[in-house]
Amino acid sequence: MRVVVIGGSGHIGTFLVPRLVRAGHEVVSVTRSGGTGYADAPEWEQVRHVTADREQQDAEGTFGQTIVALEPDVVIDLVCFTVESATALVEALRGKVDHLIHCGSIWRHGPSRKLPITEDSDSADPPFDDYGVQKAAIARLLKDETAAGGLVTTSLHPGHIVGPGWHPTGPLGNIDPQVWQVLSSGGVLQVPGSGMETLHHVHADDVAQAFELAVSHRDAAAGEDFSVVAPTALSVRGYVEIASGWFGQAATVEPITWHAYRAATTPDYAEQSWGHLHRSQVFSIDKAKSLLGYAPAYEPDAAILESVRRLIDDGELAVAGPLKA
């Protein structure tokens, strides 16, 4: 099939585009820059690159036609963040494309009520920020579109994506690199809350696996939404213990109030931390396993370690001592 990947050079596309090529698909990557992702792979030589500024074309009302002109069988949309953008694409693709697969987010759910959170239950509160609200609304829009007999759609909702080439979400729920100085030196990490909050990571290649499976299992994926995360999640305390152990250390957690934490860090890091730790989410992957055959290869700590190792090797992360893991 001809698969058009919108946003093919990002975290997910880095792994997804080569997977699709290896599966025998004709792949078109649509990006603003024409890039090839975070990791070199020979499969990129077989990919057609199309440059398009989605934000500008959405404003002009032409982006959907840009995608239709590529004559895709399947469209994978990795960079859609508003209902308006999603609606315009659906209306352009309806009747012209076999399958639209959208990248959502676990943040379409708010703070957890019951664990694990499942796709179609009351196990989490509603989303509480604009990003999550938009992602939740897009997922509903797509499900309703398919249920009404329109375009066949699927939405996949990754956790905290991690992989070689970028900083992982750390135990404070942000990407502050100074956290790794504390962990690698066996220091005390001041954490807002109790330290029992949870984070649910997923390796980018496991997310890519789920998208590839949605392409090949169209009938099972039609009209469905799936959480795409690692088999397990990390508590903040567990994360600190495991990650400091990679350096032969034993860092500890000191709980502090959110007021004290906000006073000690930047507004940006504080906002990131609140977004992750206040939600304190853990998700079930039973639906993705059952309908798609999803089988994530990475536990969350293994995925994070791979990312941290690459950052250290590339000189992009300063730590107090060498990795022993």
Could you tell me what percent of the chain has a pLDDT over 90?
A: 96
Please report which confidence band the pLDDT of residue 174 belongs to, taking 50, 70 and 90 as the band edges: very high
Q: In this structure, are 245 and 124 located in the same domain?
A: no
pLDDT at 165: 85
Q: Residue 250: inside a domain, yes or no?
A: yes
Residues 178 and 241 in one domain: yes
Of 16-20, 119-123, 268-272, give the lowest mean pLDDT range.
Answer: 119-123
The predicted structure's pLDDT at residue 46: 96
pLDDT for 135: 98
Shared domain check, 178 and 242: yes
First to last CA, the chain: 42
Within-domain flag for 324 = no
H or E stretch covering 28: strand 26-31
Evaluated on CA atoms 226, 227, 229, 233, the torsion sign reads negative
Do 73 and 134 belong together in one domain? yes
Which phi and psi angles does 150 have, rounded to 5°? Answer: -90, -135
pLDDT at 34: 81
Model pLDDT, residue 241: 98
Any idea what the Cα angle at residue 137 is, between residues 282 and 279, rounded to 5°?
A: 25
CATH code at 214? 3.40.50.720
What pLDDT does residue 36 have?
A: 84
Is residue 288 included in any domain, yes or no? no
What would the pLDDT profile of 24-66 be if each residue is shown by its tens digit?
999 999 999 888 888 789 999 999 999 999 999 999 999 999 9
Residue 152: inside a domain, yes or no? Answer: yes
Q: Indicate if 183 and 247 belong to the same structural domain.
A: yes
What's the confidence (pLDDT) of residue 161? Answer: 98
Q: With residue 68 as reference, give the H or E element that holds it.
A: helix 63-68
Residues 90 and 34 grouped into a single domain: yes
**Average pLDDT over every residue of 92-114:** 97
Q: Which helix (H) or strand (E) holds 269?
A: helix 267-279
pLDDT of residue 31: 96
- Retrieve residue 42's tokens: 């020979």
Domain range for residue 261?
A: 164-199+232-280+300-313
Confidence at residue 40, expressed as pLDDT on a 0 to 100 scale:
82
Handedness of CA 199, 204, 205, 210 (dihedral sign): positive
Q: Which residues contact 232 (CB under 8 A, 6 or more apart)?
A: 299, 300
Q: Which residue has the tokens 């213990």?
A: 241
- DSSP 3-state of 3: strand
Q: Averaged over 284-311, what is the pLDDT?
A: 98
Q: Are residues 237 and 177 in the same domain?
A: yes
Q: Do 188 and 111 share a domain, yes or no?
A: no
| Alpha carbon distance 74, 152 (integer Å) | 10
Residue 37's alpha-carbon distances to 40, 159, 265, in angstroms, are 8, 20, 31
Tell me the C-alpha to C-alpha distance, in Å, between residue 31 and each of 9, 60, 81: 7, 17, 15
Please give the mean pLDDT across all residues of the chain: 97
**Does residue 37 lie in a domain region?**
yes
Are residues 113 and 252 both part of a single domain?
Answer: no
Nearest to 213 by CA among 42, 46, 74, 59: 74
92 and 170 within one domain: no
Whether the link from the prior residue into 177 is cis, omega within 30° of 0, is no
pLDDT per residue as tens digits for the range 210-266: 999 999 999 999 999 999 999 999 999 999 999 999 999 999 999 999 999 999 999
132, 218: one domain: yes
The whole-number pLDDT of residue 35 equals: 81
Q: What's 266's domain CATH number?
A: 3.90.25
Residue 290 falls inside a structural domain: no
Assigned domain for 289 exists:
no
Element at 156 (helix H, strand E):
strand 153-158
- What integer pLDDT is reported at residue 110 of this predicted model? 96
- Residue 169: Cβ within 10 Å count: 23
Domain count, the chain: 2
pLDDT for 77-102, tens place per residue?
A: 999 999 999 999 999 999 999 999 99
- Whether 123 and 153 share a structural domain: yes
